[in-house]
Amino acid sequence: MSKQDLPVVDLSAPACCSPLTSEPLDAQRAVELARVFKALGDPVRLRLLSLIASHEGGEACVCELTGVFDLKGPTISHHLKVLKEAGLITGDRRGTWIYYRVSPSTLRTLGDVLTVDPADEPAGVSA
Amino acid sequence: MSKQDLPVVDLSAPACCSPLTSEPLDAQRAVELARVFKALGDPVRLRLLSLIASHEGGEACVCELTGVFDLKGPTISHHLKVLKEAGLITGDRRGTWIYYRVSPSTLRTLGDVLTVDPADEPAGVSA
DNA sequence: CCTCTGTCTCGACAGTCATCGAAACAAGGA
DNA sequence: TCCTTGTTTCGATGACTGTCGAGACAGAGG
Residue A44 pLDDT greater than 70, yes or no: yes
Asked whether A41 and B34 are in contact (CB, 8 A), the reply is yes
> For residue range A86-120, what is the model confidence (pLDDT) as tens digits?
999 999 999 999 999 999 999 999 999 998 776 65
Neighbour tally for B6: CB within 10 Å: 10
pLDDT digits (tens, 9 = 90+) for A2-39: 455 677 887 776 655 678 888 888 999 999 999 999 99
What is the CATH architecture of A26-112? Answer: Orthogonal Bundle (1.10)
Q: Which nucleotides of C are covered by protein (CB under 7 A)?
A: 5-11, 15-23, 26-28
pLDDT for res A122: 56
- Residuewise pLDDT in 10s, chain B (127 residues): 444 566 787 777 655 567 888 888 899 999 999 999 999 999 999 999 999 999 989 999 999 999 999 999 999 999 999 999 999 999 999 999 999 999 999 999 999 999 877 665 555 444 3
Of A24, A102, A114, the CB nearest to B107: A114
Domain B26-113 belongs to what topology? Arc Repressor Mutant, subunit A (1.10.10)
Q: What is the pLDDT of residue A16?
A: 59
- The answer to whether strand D lies under 7 Å from the CB of residue B62 is yes
Residue A38, CB, strand D, below 7 Å: yes
Does the pLDDT value for residue A50 go beyond 70?
A: yes
Rounded to the nearest 10 degrees, the angle between the axes of helix A43-54 and helix A27-40 is 80
- Residues of chain B found within 8 Å of residue A34, distances taken between Cβ atoms: 40-43, 45-46
Task: Residue A4: count other Cβ atoms within 10 Å of its Cβ.
Answer: 4
Of the pLDDT bands very low, low, confident and very high (cuts 50, 70, 90), residue A126 is very low
Distance from CA of A87 to the nearest CA of B (A): 14
ipTM above 0.85, yes or no: yes
pLDDT for A58 equals 92
Query: What is the reported pLDDT for B42?
Result: 98
- Residue bearing the bigger pLDDT, A66 or A18: A66
User: CB-based contacts of B81: which residues, under 8 Å, 6+ apart?
Assistant: none
Please answer yes or no on whether B38 and A33 come within 8 Å at the CB atom: no
Residue A109 to residues A50, A87, A103, B13: CA-CA distances in angstroms? Answer: 17, 11, 10, 24
Q: Is B46 helix (H, G, I), strand (E, B) or coil?
A: helix
Domain positions in chain B:
26-113
Q: Find, among A28, A20, A15, A31, the residue nearest to A86 by Cα.
A: A31
Nearest CA in chain A to B121: A104
Cβ <8 Å between A34 and B54: no
A66-74 average pLDDT score:
95
Q: How far is the CA of B112 from the C1' of C21 (A)?
A: 42
Partners of residue A38 in chain B, C-beta under 8 Å:
37-38, 40-42
